[in-house]
């Protein structure tokens, strides 16, 4: 039996897929918060390279992947498509379960698919340094890896609470040569202001974004980089789904349903968008696509579809998305990558228009699924990914009841080697199942309606 | 340019290679410590399954890999052979550098190559539980993974110092369903005795071995498992080198020199033995093979080639090997997997007879090499592996001087995701370069000569 479907390096897709070309109606544009008008390219050129600004709005269906980016991808791509025989057997399901495995990349997740592309375009346009923010460190370490490959400097503002409690991703970034500071810092006006006002603050992603953006705007040869949400990030991530499509062609299969976890939405979008194109064009009208999110941060299942800021400090353009309000601070679940108040506009539009669904889970049921996966398929996956493994197992068990031989694909975004403390908490029965924070959401959304 | 050479799953070797068939003179047999006579199969049957005892002594050149073991290997095998273009470019060397990458396995190293085989044979012979020892946890986690796949229970005695200071590998083991105890425990007579004598002891690998062996000997359906040194362990690991040979055939290359790190010697032996067979048969007489070890535990470069115990407590059979004496306790270097007083008898015999060489390095130069590797090839490797990366870089730089276009292969045994504290210590200039502990070695070897 064949467990992995591999592509040769020369079969790797040479172009990214742009769903904008297949959308039936165009995306709502990002708005300039001071004018309320659609943002212009020149508004972004202080912090992004022109090539990425163009990719953000292009309507071309295919964007060529530069040869130098393909060469770096080859350090871990094409990634294998797995058939999860052992999981199927343990569940006694007639369903066929597949997953693409992004844990083989040097930083251990899907993040470098865009980090490498972004570092490359910045290098090509003469940029010498990139600044960014990171929470627990997945994105910061991916950008540190990518910049080290292209000889750029990298400055990472890491949320102070994570910087102090979770040093391993910080050490990874430093090993790749990046500098990493606990945010808020005294290096920026935004940071200084917050420290003056709240001397004991442990920081937040919103503050870290403000610091990274200010850093990039202030220095001539420095740009800013974002690891999810934006259209060009999703574009780069489509390398995942394009590989999966080729791999399914080899075995003459096509998924009936695709599951993925959604924080900002870049991993899942990267996997499902190339298949969604088939659905939009009417080629696979019955394809189901389901986002999996935590009950503690239920953006797609409980959020409002409206314009909101990408950050807490209201510095970014307004994006049309499902949001819990930029003030919303979710409970401290272990899936740190899913604790974001909004989602990628492309994914939100497709959800709003009914092309895809969403479902939310509690921590304990999610970790239970991760343990089942580890004891059958071997790999210790990230808590984020475990959300869609939970959905996969539920669907496979439903198929067992009905006898359906469904083909299931889920997006396996990365390993959980730096999340073992969370596994330990689960083993010891110490994981808290946070209820939907209904009152917090209501308050935050009310504030949002008053502001926008 | 092609970065990785992959084999299809159906091209994976179906047999392990046994160097004993190609040795010009037979191995010196292990001796029973009480009689001084060669050990008999029945002496071992209380703690090992018969199939492994047979594999320990077989003279057959090829041992078929069971279908069920091949199916589990497919979760991560065949592993890729990498051409390290970026490292070559950074070093400006005309040498071609290749490495096989075992970090893609679920436990993140080469260890499951034998753990899976051992768990399988124990399961086939009706064993219900396997006990073992582990230091920092690489071997214990590999066996926990393997036993979970075959539905066996697993008991791991983990050196107390590591159990308390490095909880992550323990959590991995528990996630795969193993039970893990800080050794010495109160579960065994050996453990109780030590705790009574030294109430505050933080344990040692020697004590943990004694506990695991006692546990296995005491219970009917329980066996013991060892992760390195023994012939059957090296046999299982040859899957690595056999894959490399096929991959080199595809690109019509053959290594001029092979480097690997040596603790017990199973990873490196697994890679070089299939090539060494060619050398012994006169097909590639000029092949160089070089073991890389730490100056803090210089078994091959400073040890005595003689019979010694495998453990500190003198419970195991006597093995003919390079040893620093079973009393020798090496300085606390970060490459925990290389802190063993002896080496695999097969590797030692080949070294003694001049078929291969050895070299020793200090910690700081080794970590410097690991950083160079991370910033060119991306992957954060284990400190153990970094020893042979140091040798590879030195040789590549020598080739730059001489203009030689040598083909270098090194054994990349696994990732360093649980060794980031050591990387941090290096970044902060806190790594100690221990001198050859000459006096300690002398004392330990003197004691050995008096005992044996």
**CATH number of residue A286's parent domain:** 3.40.50.1100
Kindly state whether residues B419 and B311 are assigned to the same domain.
yes
Verify that A161 and A56 share a domain, yes or no. Answer: yes
Give the per-residue pLDDT at B127. 98
Q: How far from A110 is each of A65, A350, B6, B218, CA to CA, in Å? A: 16, 22, 21, 48
pLDDT at B92 (0 to 100): 98
Residues of B in contact with A10 (CB under 8 A): 2
Confidence of residue B367 (pLDDT cuts 50, 70, 90): very high
Residues B284 and B357 in one domain: yes
Q: Mean per-residue pLDDT for B395-401?
A: 98
Report the sign of the C-alpha dihedral through residues B200, B129, B342, B79, in that order. Answer: negative
Identify which of A370, A441, A375 has the alpha carbon closest to the alpha carbon of residue A412. A370
Is residue A10 assigned to a domain?
no
- Going by the DSSP 8-state scheme, the letter that residue A415 receives in this structure is B
Instruction: Establish if A377 belongs to a structural domain.
Output: yes
pTM beyond 0.90: yes
Provide ipTM, 2 decimals: 0.96
Tell me phi and psi for residue B391, to 5 degrees: -65, -40
Statement to judge: residues A195 and A328 lie in one domain: no
Whether A357 and A413 map to the same domain: the answer is: yes
B258/chain A closest Cα distance in angstroms: 22
Q: Which of B179, B205, B230 is the endpoint of a domain? A: B230
Structure-block tokens of residue A160: 């102070």
| Nearest beta carbon to residue B74 from set A3, A10, A168 | A3
pLDDT (average), residues B311-329: 88
**A165 plus A255 within the same structural domain:** no
**Alpha-carbon gap: A146 to the closest alpha carbon of chain B (Å):** 9
Task: Check whether residue B117 and residue B214 sit in a common domain.
Answer: yes
- The closest CB to that of B3, out of A1, A9, A418, belongs to A9
| Cα nearest neighbour of A103 on chain B | B104
- Report chain B residues whose CB lies below 8 A from the CB of A424: 167, 171, 174
What residue ranges of chain A have pLDDT lower than 50?
none
Candidates A104, A177, A423; nearest CB to B171 = A423
Q: Among B4, B171, B371, whose Cβ lies nearest the Cβ of A74?
A: B4
Do A220 and A332 share a domain, yes or no?
Answer: no
Considering only CA atoms, which of A289, A303, A291, A304 is closest in space to residue A263? A291
Nearest CA in chain B to A104: B104
Task: Among A230, A262, A282, give the residue marking a domain's end.
Answer: A230
3-state secondary structure of B300: helix
Helix spans in B353-436 (H): 363-377, 383-402, 420-427
Contact A171 B424 (CB under 8 A): yes
**Is residue B13 domain-resident?**
no
Measured between beta carbons, the chain B residues lying within 8 angstroms of A86 are 149
pLDDT of the residue at B136: 83
| Nearest CA-CA partner of B367 in B383, B378, B379 | B383
Mind telling me how many Å the CA of A149 is from chain B's nearest CA?
Answer: 6
d(CA A199, CA A193): 10
Distance from CA of A16 to the nearest CA of B (A): 20
Question: Are A372 and A390 found together in one domain?
Answer: yes
User: Domains in chain B: how many in total?
Assistant: 2
Please answer yes or no on whether A148 and B420 come within 8 Å at the CB atom: no
**Mean pLDDT of all residues in B257-284:** 97
- Check CB contact under 8 Å for A417 and B108: yes
Is residue B88 located within the same domain as residue B167?
Answer: no
Q: Which of A230, A261, A290 is the last residue of a domain?
A: A230
pLDDT of B332 > 90? The answer is no
The per-residue DSSP string of B97-155 comes to: EEEEE-TTSTTSBSTHHHHHHHHHHHHHTT--EEEEEESSSHHHHHHHHHHHHHT-EEE
So what's the pLDDT on residue A452?
61
Q: Per-residue confidence at B452, pLDDT binned at 50, 70, 90?
A: low
Whether B353 and B428 share a structural domain: yes
Percent of chain B with pLDDT over 70: 100
Q: Give the whole-angstrom CA distance, residue B136 versus residue A440.
A: 44
**How far apart (Å, rounded) are the C-alpha atoms in residues A260 and A258?**
7
Q: Tell me the C-alpha distance between A290 and A255, whole Å.
A: 12
Residue B15 lies in a domain: no
Taking the CA of residue A271 and the nearest CA in chain B, the distance in Å comes to 21
Nearest CA in chain A to B11: A2
The reply to whether B370 falls in a domain is yes
Find the chain B residues whose C-beta atoms sit closer than 8 A to any C-beta of A.
1-4, 6, 8-10, 71, 74-76, 86, 104-106, 108, 145, 148-149, 167-168, 171-172, 174-177, 371, 374-375, 377-380, 417-418, 420-421, 423-424, 427
Does B6 contact A6 at a Cβ distance shorter than 8 Å?
yes
- A75 CB neighbours in chain B (<8 A) are 3, 377-379
Provide the pLDDT confidence category of residue B233 given band limits of 50, 70 and 90: very high
Q: How high is the pLDDT of residue B444?
A: 81
Establish if A260 belongs to a structural domain: yes
One domain for residues B171 and B49: yes
Q: Among partner residues B2, B175, B371, which is closest to A380 by beta-carbon distance?
A: B175
Q: Region B436-449: what's the mean pLDDT?
A: 80
Give mean pLDDT, residues B99-109: 98
CA A148 to chain B, closest CA, distance in angstroms equals 6
Residues in chain B closer than 8 A to A104 (CB atoms):
104
Domain that residue A295 falls in: 73-108+232-451
């Amino acid at each position: 039996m064949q467990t992995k479907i591999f592509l040769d390096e020369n079969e790797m897709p040479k172009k990214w897929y742009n769903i904008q070309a297949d959308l039936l109606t165009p995306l709502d544009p990002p708005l300039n918060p001071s004018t309320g008008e659609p943002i212009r390219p020149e508004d972004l050129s202080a912090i992004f390279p022109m090539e990425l600004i163009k990719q953000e709005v292009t309507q071309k269906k295919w964007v060529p992947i530069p040869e130098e980016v393909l060469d770096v991808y080859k350090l871990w791509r094409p990634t294998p498509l797995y058939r999860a025989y052992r999981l199927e057997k343990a569940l006694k399901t007639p369903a066929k379960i597949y997953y693409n495995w992004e844990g083989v990349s040097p930083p251990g997740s899907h993040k470098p698919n865009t980090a490498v592309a972004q570092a490359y375009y910045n290098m090509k346009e003469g940029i010498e340094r990139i600044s960014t923010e990171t929470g627990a460190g997945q994105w910061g370490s991916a950008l540190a890896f990518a910049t080290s490959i292209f000889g750029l400097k990298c400055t990472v503002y890491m949320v102070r609470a994570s910087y102090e409690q979770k040093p391993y991703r910080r050490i990874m970034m430093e090993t790749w040569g990046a500098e990493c500071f606990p945010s808020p810092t005294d290096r920026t006006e935004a940071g200084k202001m917050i420290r003056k006002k709240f001397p004991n603050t442990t920081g937040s992603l919103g503050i870290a974004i403000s610091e990274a953006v200010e850093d990039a705007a202030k220095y001539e040869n420095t740009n800013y980089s974002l690891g999810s949400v934006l259209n060009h990030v999703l574009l780069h991530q489509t390398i995942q789904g394009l590989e999966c499509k080729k791999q399914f062609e080899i075995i003459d299969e096509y998924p009936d349903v695709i599951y993925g976890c959604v924080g900002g939405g870049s991993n899942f979008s990267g996997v499902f968008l190339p298949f969604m194109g088939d659905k939009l064009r009417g080629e696979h009208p019955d394809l189901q696509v389901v986002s999996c999110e935590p009950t503690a941060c239920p953006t797609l299942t409980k959020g409002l579809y409206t314009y909101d800021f990408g950050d807490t400090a209201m510095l970014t353009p307004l994006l049309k998305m499902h949001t819990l309000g930029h003030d919303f601070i979710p409970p401290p679940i272990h899936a740190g990558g899913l604790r974001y108040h909004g989602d990628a506009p492309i994914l939100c539009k497709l959800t709003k228009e009914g092309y895809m669904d969403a479902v939310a889970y509690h921590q304990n049921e999610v970790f239970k699924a991760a343990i089942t996966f580890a004891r059958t398929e071997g790999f210790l996956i990230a808590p984020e990914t475990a959300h869609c493994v939970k959905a996969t197992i539920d669907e496979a068990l439903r198929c067992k009841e009905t006898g359906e031989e469904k083909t299931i694909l889920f997006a396996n975004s990365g390993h959980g080697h730096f999340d073992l403390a969370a596994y330990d908490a689960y083993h010891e029965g110490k994981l808290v199942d946070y209820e939907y924070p209904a009152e917090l959401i209501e308050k935050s959304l009310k504030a949002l309606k008053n502001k926008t």
